[in-house]
Structure 1
Amino acid sequence: MLKYEDLTVGKTLTVDVNKLITRQQLQQYAKASGDLNPLHTDDEFAKKIGMPSVIAHGMLIMGQLGKYVTNLAGDTATVKQYKMRFGAMTFPNDEITCVAVVKSLSEHEGKSCAALTLYASKEQDTIVGTGQAILEFH
């Protein structure tokens, strides 16, 4: 459980390693999101446009990073802000690792807050997304 009093600026928080991205997951996400672009589901199409294979939806990776932040907050904090920028492409069989570093600690309207810098990466520290979140502690 994350506690405000245990945080310090520069502290790296718990690392979360997600399961491998699968083709089935990409198919399911395409249907659920309504983003049926064949770049995410059809290898032949992806190869025709110069890609080695299909790529994961950027929003799927954003969701994984968002889930990580929500899990960090747990019952002790509320996610007050979350944003992400996309980096490198994610392919089937990539494993996404999420990590947060405490950027700053502050008080806002009588509540303790922690600003986090977020990273989603795959093998060899290739960044697939970076972001920021603010946690407000109860």
Structure 2
Amino acid sequence: MRPPIPATTGTALQGRTVGPLTLTDIVRFAGAGGDFNPLHHDAETARAAGFPDVIAMGQMHAGMLGSWVADVFGVEHLRSFEVRFAAPVNVGDTLTFTGEVTEVDHAMSPALAQVTLAVNRGDDVVLHGKATVAVAS
């Protein structure tokens, strides 16, 4: 097992950028997850529902965010992870994952850090999140 990494309140995580997302990316994720809602692969259905084109399923970018957090801190140090969807993600979007350590509780061993997370499309936040991770004191 990897040792926890050090982190202090106010530490900004090195971001990650993914995209632009393609229809193939979305369809592959739908196949892997079994989510065959036509909003995720049929442009006509998506437009009839008021979207400009097919949209990615929320679990796609939530999963990418979770994977990034696990890469930064080590999956074995992830204690909790939650997200809140703010806007749909479209074909062609480029997503940027950001995070900041907002609190570190040194009363625990190892210390536990609270991390605020976001997935952005340009200046728009499409997903808010937070995680609790074990960190070195």
State TM-score, norm by structure 1: 0.89
1:130 maps to which residue?
A: 128
CA deviations on 1:55-93 (whole Å, 9 max, x unpaired) are 000000100110110011138x61111111101110011
User: Percent identity at matched positions?
Assistant: 29
Q: How does 1:1-138 map to 2 (within 5 A)?
A: 3-4=5-6, 7-74=7-74, 78-123=77-122, 125-137=123-135
State TM-score, norm by structure 2: 0.89
Secondary structure of the corresponding residue to residue 20 of structure 1: coil
1:103 and 1:65 map into 2 onto residues whose CA distance is 17
Secondary structure of the corresponding residue to residue 54 of structure 2: coil
Quote the offset at 1:114 in angstroms. Answer: 1.2
- Between Structure 1 and Structure 2, how many residues are aligned? 134
1:89 and 1:55 map into 2 onto residues whose CA distance is 6
CA RMSD of aligned residues (A): 1.9
Quote the offset at 1:102 in angstroms. Answer: 0.8
Unaligned runs of 5+ in 1: none
Unaligned runs of 5+ in 2: none
Which amino acid letter does the alignment assign opposite residue 15 of structure 2? Answer: V
CA deviations on 1:30-74 (whole Å, 9 max, x unpaired) are 111111110010001111222110000000010011011001113
2:94 and 2:113 map into 1 onto residues whose CA distance is 27
1:137 and 1:48 map into 2 onto residues whose CA distance is 47
1:20 and 1:47 map into 2 onto residues whose CA distance is 20
